[in-house]
Structure 1
């Protein structure tokens, strides 16, 4: 079956907002009386806000009522939004513009598959809101990655089958979600970390659309 659609995670694939998440989570942890490192923050990549908070609280040895956790998650998001609201098209990662030029020439459908509820804001700030045929974010799903819902909904909204899709992800949870969704998965990062990916490259800057299509269709 030919590949007709590319589905992209947002953070770490098109832009890198990990530093903003880290700064906001670190500020929250500090106010709760402990600290988190950048290495620890790697565990939060591709994980929903509520699940990230649970991981952080466990790290700090804290157990809090749901009401307080809701308030803390909202506070973290407010700090994060203050940071991402300053983003511009200059924050788009290297190679993304060239890759999407190739995508358009290949007449492929495109979608964002992000667990972040802030994905539309980020796309607006970097000027890519109109680039995608579908945007699936945290407001449209009930299960975070590694559940495949964010990608299977993306395929459904594009009107294609999972077998026609390629997923681009930088996180272990996202790679697993794509694989569980029955899609060919391109991991962007280290092959030692993204071991479940069908193809791994450092970033979109190091890939061509034709290379991805050839590899994906070879195994379909």
Structure 2
């Protein structure tokens, strides 16, 4: 691997899989059980891209760490029970991962989701082995939009964030990638181009995405 080879870091929900509709349904069902009302604005601006330990207290107020863990586990189990990764793949991801591997591009996943979700989704899609590192919510003290997860993912790849490319679909995730110093490619599965702006590039999915397009981003941003 050349020292000037970029690292590529993927968010998971909304980037590798179209999972946000299932997350939204799970959250709505979860909130209904607990008599909590969640607006679309809350979902988009204060929940997507953030960790459970950050958004759950915003709904439930000051709660014990034990209760927070139980609530988070309940919500994520509801999500996994209804979500089938194989039926919700972001188009072109398998081919794109294979192209990166063939060109010795190091790859990581950096998700705000818990490790159980990452294991479930990546293993069901048989893509775990593509990644040199997989970081989940347990690996960070502060979730997105803080850049911590992308700084740590870059380090796990042996790269500076400035020589990495981040794929993100959430507003908080784009901000995290940019704050880390990476080039950010917005994936418009959850938000519009206008909502995700500014990014180095925008894509709907990974079809027709060429290697030279992303390498140029890492060297010219």
Tell me the TM-score range normalised by the shorter chain: 0.7 to 0.9
- Matched residue, 2:194: 192
Q: How does 1:165-204 map to 2 (within 5 A)?
A: 165-189=164-188, 190-204=192-206
- SS at structure 2 position matched to 1:50: helix
- Matched residue, 1:157: 156
- SS at structure 2 position matched to 1:204: coil
Match of 2:32 among 30, 46, 53: 30
Contact 1:13 1:204 in 2 (8 A): no
Structure 1: 5+ residue runs without aligned partners?
A: none
Q: 1:38 to 1:94 in 2, by over 3 A?
A: farther
Match status 1:127 vs 2:126: yes
Match status 1:47 vs 2:50: yes
What is the rounded CA distance, in whole Å, between the counterparts of 1:183 and 1:73 in structure 2?
A: 30
What is the rounded CA distance, in whole Å, between the counterparts of 2:206 and 2:85 in structure 1?
A: 19
Contact 2:147 2:176 in 1 (8 A): yes
- Matched residue, 1:138: 137
Give the RMSD, CA atoms, in angstroms: 2.2
What is the rounded CA distance, in whole Å, between the counterparts of 1:72 and 1:88 in structure 2?
A: 23
What is the rounded CA distance, in whole Å, between the counterparts of 1:180 and 1:24 in structure 2?
A: 30
- SS at structure 1 position matched to 2:220: helix
Match of 2:63 among 38, 62, 65: 65
Contact 1:3 1:163 in 2 (8 A): no
Deviation at 1:104, TM superposition (A): 2.1
Q: 1:54 to 1:209 in 2, by over 3 A?
A: farther
Q: 1:155 to 1:65 in 2, by over 3 A?
A: closer
Q: How many residues are matched? A: 212
What is the rounded CA distance, in whole Å, between the counterparts of 1:178 and 1:13 in structure 2?
A: 14
What is the rounded CA distance, in whole Å, between the counterparts of 2:42 and 2:145 in structure 1?
A: 19
Deviation at 1:188, TM superposition (A): 1.0
What is the rounded CA distance, in whole Å, between the counterparts of 1:185 and 1:212 in structure 2?
A: 10
The alignment's TM-score, normalised by the length of structure 2, stands at 0.85
What is the rounded CA distance, in whole Å, between the counterparts of 2:126 and 2:208 in structure 1?
A: 23
What is the rounded CA distance, in whole Å, between the counterparts of 2:70 and 2:111 in structure 1?
A: 23
Q: 1:95 to 1:38 in 2, by over 3 A?
A: farther
Contact 1:26 1:36 in 2 (8 A): yes
Deviation at 1:166, TM superposition (A): 0.5
The alignment's TM-score, normalised by the length of structure 1, stands at 0.86
- Matched residue, 2:78: 79
Structure 2: 5+ residue runs without aligned partners?
A: none
What is the rounded CA distance, in whole Å, between the counterparts of 2:36 and 2:161 in structure 1?
A: 43
Match of 2:8 among 6, 9, 12: 6
For residues 147-179 of structure 1, the C-alpha deviation after alignment (integer angstroms, 9 at most, x for no partner) is 111111111111111122111100111111111
Deviation at 1:124, TM superposition (A): 1.0
